[in-house]
Structure 1
Amino acid sequence: METPPIYGLPQDTLHQIFSALPLRQIMICRSVSKLFHQLLTSPCFLHLISTRSSLRLIALRPPHHHHNHNHRHVSSPPCLHVFDPDQIQWLRFSLDFLPFRSLHPVASSLGLVYLWGDSSPSSSNDASFSAPNKSLVVSNPLTRQFRVLPQLGSAWSRHGSVLVDSAASRVMVLTELAALYFSSSGGSHQWLNFSSNLPSKPRSPIMVSDSVYALCDVGSPWRSQWKLFSCAIARMKSGSSSSQNWNRLERHEWGDVFDILKRPRLVRGSGNRILMVGGLKSSFSLNSSCSTILILRLDLETLEWDEAGRMPVEMFRCFQESSKFKVFGSGDTVCFSAKRVGRLALWDRCSGKAEWRWIDGVPGSGDGLCRGFVFEARLTPLW
């Protein structure tokens, strides 16, 4: 057969042609031929395309029992389940290139996915039955590259929240008592350990720019009272008294903004904003029922709250009978799950207009609590 003319073009020209395609088409073209695959996976093309094209997906985390269970049998190949809201379809990214067991994806930023991995021997016949060694792994499922961060104990993987900044170069593992910090841009290649000393276990902590934000319960055992705390990363690294690191963000103008929501959570918003999501109480009584789920937005520059969205009543009826619901997302995308609902509720305003819709076909039984994160898929090379 005659060689197609496109094969005769210089490599630089081909790179420029393919770099103009959306990421979805680039991934399809990689499967056309060996030449295209070699061309579109080369380091120079990945460097060219890494900041030009992305694909917004919703990734699911596996259930906790899968994360903690020490498997002694052959399981299905590990993969990352994602939902494409634009194409309305579920996809799977294979993680079989990672040499770890019990993979548990927990966070993502700019095309990179962070996972806990068990680096203990996989053979059940191994003579060593010591506790598994947990490592935090950063990978790109599209380029099938990965890097292992310095090893951590299993307690961090069970109790710590993994936070990644928008530049994907700083990572923090945060608990109530301590914080581990790692930056690829610094000279150190080890975790830095700092005391956190928060007033209670941090709920849904997030990293925005150079600060960390978390909700903490400062109430009594009989009645919760949630407040917003923040800490500048530079202050945490300075080594000053830990009790002075965290500031409670309060304004008289905020009024009862923390009292109107039941079981509030934080979600990193777009730009310099954070979202606070919870059930809208029908009254201030202790066991007040909720009329819907409310999304509030805080502008960190002006420190002013506004309402970003509220779940339609007909959709909220599916969550009304569940005592717990989970919230996850980032930017202008927030997902909700609850037991026995069987699908995810999605709040999406990426197109400029907020809309609520259902996501069906959730992998697995579909009637449990789903956790996850927004995965902005890119051909990002590892730092």
Structure 2
Amino acid sequence: MESLPHDTLQHIFSSLPLRQIMICRSVSKHLNQLLTSSCFIQHISTNSPPLHLLALRPPHHRHHHVSSPPCLHAFDPEQSRWLRFTLDFLPFRSPHPVASSSGLIYLWGDSPDSSDSNKSLLVCNPLTRQFRALPQLGSAWSRHGSVLVDSASRVMVLTELAALYFSGQGNQWLKFSSNLPSKPRSPILVRDSVFALCDVGSPWRSQWKLFACTISKLKSSQTWTRLEKHEWGDVFDILKRPRLVRGNGNRILMVGGLKSSFSLNSSCSTILILRLDLDSCEWDEAGRMPVDMFKCFQESSKFKVFGAGDRVCFSAKRLGRLALWDNSSGNAEWQWIDGVPGSGDGLCRGFVFEARLTPLP
């Protein structure tokens, strides 16, 4: 086989699914060299469907002196198995993945040239082992900012007071005032707009509202708009501790505990997933956690939500596994994900990782 021309071999292997291509890399040095070449990666990045994975963010309390090689753990729903992508090719200490888009991972890392905790925002592809550092930001943004990315490889770091925007042009960040009424909860980037939940209530009672701002307005007038309609009624009052998740197309999901009453400390009867169509501005119910599954979350006062599109994951303290809402087949199903790696408190955070052989821009 080694006597065949490279073009012929690349044509043969380009017909394989991405999973098989990654396995073939381990067969021999010759195949690894062939399947990691820039010309093959350039060809396959636009012709091979991605792997739709659910990646975990490392726990916040992980210490810097951990001796095990840094890695990214991701769950493959199609194969029902956990995958491990090594990050040992990054010359940065304590890499902390936070977001993903178009096959690329965005992560914070400690500068290798500094003894203090000076964070840099990096972008890499663990499948091609390529990386680059974005312009320097500083550690304050890594502690308080939410990193948002989209398919156009635009990057935003958002806080209550300010927003940083990077489009790759000019190799610098643009800084704008946020002017939000409170710290944004679970902000998401959908097409050309940013959406976030903000608490406009009192210190004694939370009142969540949905705010939006287009990137073009953020650059000019910094105007955030409160999205509400009379027809929506009490949609924001029926959920306890709501979060936003990016949906399919021009839709967003709002997830939270379904209150059993409107009292101040009302208990929840289940976890509800609502869906907002941004074109028609209408809500509908996308999913409701089964009662037997929700019983495992009732004992925990805190749970985390992550995902996008047709898959949303839920974690809780000391639960030891994840609950998954999967609507990828068009028929919503709920299932448990066991074997969660790590030894944290069970509160897993994460993001969707569409793994593909995307070359760095």
Question: For the superposition of Structure 1 and Structure 2, which TM-score range results when normalised by the shorter chain?
Answer: over 0.9
What is the 5 A alignment of 1:22-171?
A: 22-51=17-46, 52-66=48-62, 69=63, 71=64, 73=65, 75-121=67-113, 131-167=116-152, 169-171=153-155
- Deviation track 1:189-211 (CA, whole Å, cap 9, x = no partner) reads 00111100100000000000001
Per the normalisation by structure 1, the TM-score is 0.91
CA-based RMSD of the aligned residues comes to 1.3
Secondary structure at 1:35 match in 2: helix
Query: Quick one: distance in 2 between partners of 1:74 and 1:321?
Result: 31
Query: Quick one: distance in 2 between partners of 1:257 and 1:87?
Result: 36
Q: Which residue is equivalent to 1:173?
A: 157
Check the 8 A contact 2:164/2:174 in 1, yes or no.
yes
**1:367 positional shift:** 4.4
Query: Quick one: distance in 2 between partners of 1:144 and 1:180?
Result: 27
**1:53 positional shift:** 2.2
User: Mean alpha-carbon deviation: is it higher for 340-349 or for 13-22?
Assistant: 13-22
Secondary structure at 2:61 match in 1: helix
Check the 8 A contact 2:321/2:346 in 1, yes or no.
no
Structure 1 runs not aligned, ≥5 long: 123-128
Query: Quick one: distance in 1 between partners of 2:66 and 2:319?
Result: 31
Is residue 2:187 matched to residue 1:205? Answer: yes
Query: Quick one: distance in 2 between partners of 1:89 and 1:339?
Result: 22
Query: Quick one: distance in 2 between partners of 1:259 and 1:145?
Result: 46
Check the 8 A contact 1:139/1:382 in 2, yes or no.
yes
User: Mean alpha-carbon deviation: is it higher for 51-60 or for 270-279?
Assistant: 51-60
Q: Which residue is equivalent to 1:125?
A: none
Secondary structure at 1:163 match in 2: strand
**1:368 positional shift:** 2.1
User: Mean alpha-carbon deviation: is it higher for 359-368 or for 372-381?
Assistant: 359-368
Q: Which residue is equivalent to 2:174?
A: 192
- Deviation track 1:247-292 (CA, whole Å, cap 9, x = no partner) reads 0011111111101100000001111111000000111111111100
- Deviation track 1:286-326 (CA, whole Å, cap 9, x = no partner) reads 11111000001111111111111010000000001111100
**1:366 positional shift:** 5.8
Secondary structure at 2:27 match in 1: coil
Query: Quick one: distance in 1 between partners of 2:131 and 2:49?
Result: 20
**1:370 positional shift:** 0.6
Q: Which residue is equivalent to 1:280?
A: 258
Query: Quick one: distance in 2 between partners of 1:195 and 1:320?
Result: 39
**Paired residues, what number?**
360
Aligned-pair identity (%): 81
Query: Quick one: distance in 1 between partners of 2:284 and 2:171?
Result: 41
Query: Quick one: distance in 2 between partners of 1:228 and 1:62?
Result: 28
Query: Quick one: distance in 2 between partners of 1:303 and 1:50?
Result: 35
**1:15 positional shift:** 2.1
**1:12 positional shift:** 2.6
Query: Quick one: distance in 1 between partners of 2:237 and 2:317?
Result: 25
Check the 8 A contact 1:343/1:366 in 2, yes or no.
no
In the alignment, residue 53 of structure 1 is paired with which amino acid? P
Check the 8 A contact 2:95/2:110 in 1, yes or no.
yes
